[in-house]
């Protein structure tokens, strides 16, 4: 059974930084598309950043230049470094895996079959 466990969320002031981690029990995590998604109250879940098996990354326009997705294959851990945080970044952040793809990773939450429980990020102005 696949398990994804997020950590690292918290409350920060605008302009601050947080680093999210996602520990994956997936064997060969490096072989799949992995991503970070977020969902704010009353809004749909949206893609934040995705990374493929080749290390290729894509970002939502709203976080480009501020967030960085990375992975440590040896530790089976996915990261999201978030800098220059804004109040509009406030949301529950989820780690997800698409076990059907290794590249050309999608931003659509619907294609990701494996999800963590989420970690809350709150940014105050």
Tens of pLDDT, residues 23-38: 998 766 568 999 999 9
Tokens 């520990």: give the residue.
23
Residue 54 contacts residue 47 (beta carbons within 8 Å): no
Mean per-residue pLDDT, 65-93: 96
82-96 pLDDT per residue, tens: 999 999 999 999 999
- For 106, phi then psi, to 5°, come to -90, 160
114 token code pair:
């494996």
- For 111, phi then psi, to 5°, come to -85, -10
Mean per-residue pLDDT, 11-16: 98
Rg from Cα positions in the chain: 13
CB count, 10 Å around CB of 64? Answer: 10
Tell me how far apart the alpha carbons of residues 104 and 123 are, in angstroms, rounded to a whole number. 31
């Amino acid at each position: 059974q696949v398990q994804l466990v997020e950590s690292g969320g918290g409350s920060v002031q605008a302009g601050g930084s947080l680093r999210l981690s996602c520990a994956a029990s997936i064997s060969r995590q490096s072989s799949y598309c992995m991503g970070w998604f977020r969902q704010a109250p009353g809004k749909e879940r949206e893609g934040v950043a995705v990374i493929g098996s080749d290390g290729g990354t894509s970002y939502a326009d709203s976080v480009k230049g501020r967030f960085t997705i990375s992975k440590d294959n040896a530790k089976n851990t996915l990261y999201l470094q978030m800098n220059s945080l804004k109040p509009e970044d406030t949301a529950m952040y989820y780690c997800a895996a698409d076990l059907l793809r290794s590249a050309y990773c999608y931003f659509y939450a619907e294609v990701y079959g494996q999800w963590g429980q989420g970690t809350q990020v709150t940014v105050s102005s």
